[in-house]
Amino acid sequence: MTARLTVAGLAASRGPSTLFRDVSFEVASGEWLAVRGPNGSGKTTLLRCVAGLTRADRGEVLWDGAAARGDARFHASLLYAGHQPGIKDDLSAEENVRSALALRAVAVPDGAVRAALADVGLERRRHLPARRLSAGQRRRIGLARLILDPAALWALDEPLTALDDEGEGLFTRLLERHLATGGLAILATHDDLAPAPARELRIGA
């Protein structure tokens, strides 16, 4: 699978202040881009502009050469997780994962969800409502999603938040596998991850 994310001349502001202007980069299959910068510098806004949630002031985002915003193919290939990853407190871990996959029109073979939850260490707690899990355990629900979702592009905002060392190792292995199978990723992160990024983008420094 070859895919390419192209961003050209992107500019965005929050209220009266400009966060970034004329940001351009390309990410191809097997590569990941690290977005770094101090708090409040616009990393989250950049990710949201790439995902199409926030309308940028200028510039364009292209997926495989076609405009990304509003394109169903792009949405099918994109897995986005912001600060609030979309986990319902009243649903169990297993129900959360199933619901998220169904929302993205991903068909799941029997037993795959349970196996993924076992891989992230939530098998015994998979029927508990998410409100009864710790912050780190809720983050692991997101990791289970990453295991199962075949999306080509990951756009993740601070993916290592609240994860312990074991969780970080798990995420690193998932990222390596994702890149090895032709996926791409754009991650806003302070940490140094094991597979080195193809490129680093500094914002607001």
Binding mask 62-101 for other proteins (x = CB under 8 A): ----------xx-xxxx-x-xxxxxxxxxx---x---xx-
Looking at 2-10, 34-42, 51-59, 193-201, which segment touches other proteins (CB under 8 A)? 51-59
Beta strands at 17-28 and 4-14: parallel, antiparallel or unpaired: antiparallel
Q: How far is the CB of 63 from other proteins (least distance, A)?
A: 11
Q: How far is the CB of 8 from other proteins (least distance, A)?
A: 18
Q: Is 128 in the site for other proteins (CB under 8 A)?
A: no
Secondary structure, 3-state, 141-189: HHHHHHHHCCCCEEEEECCCCCCCHHHHHHHHHHHHHHHHCCCEEEEEC
Instruction: Give the total of residues touching other proteins (CB under 8 A).
Output: 51
Binding mask 20-49 for other proteins (x = CB under 8 A): ------------------------------
Q: How far is the CB of 45 from other proteins (least distance, A)?
A: 11
Binding mask 150-169 for other proteins (x = CB under 8 A): x-------------------
Closest CA to 147 of 102, 115, 169, 184: 115
Which of 105, 110, 165, 192 touches other proteins by CB under 8 A?
105
| Long-range contacts of residues 130-133, Cβ cutoff 8 Å, at least 24 apart | 130/87, 130/88, 130/89, 130/90, 130/91, 130/92, 130/93, 130/96, 131/89, 131/90, 133/93
Q: Is 8 in the site for other proteins (CB under 8 A)?
A: no
Q: How far is the CB of 192 from other proteins (least distance, A)?
A: 21
Q: How far apart are CA 97 and CA 44, in angstroms?
A: 24
Q: How far is the CB of 200 from other proteins (least distance, A)?
A: 25
Please give the order of strands across the beta sheet that includes 32-36.
78-81, 153-157, 184-188, 32-36, 199-202
**DSSP class of 197:** P
Scanning 35-111, the segments in alpha helix (DSSP H) are: 43-51, 72-77, 93-103
Residues within the interface to other proteins (CB under 8 A): 14-16, 51-55, 72-73, 75-78, 80, 82-91, 95, 99-100, 102-109, 112, 115-116, 119, 121, 129, 147-150, 170, 173-174, 177, 181
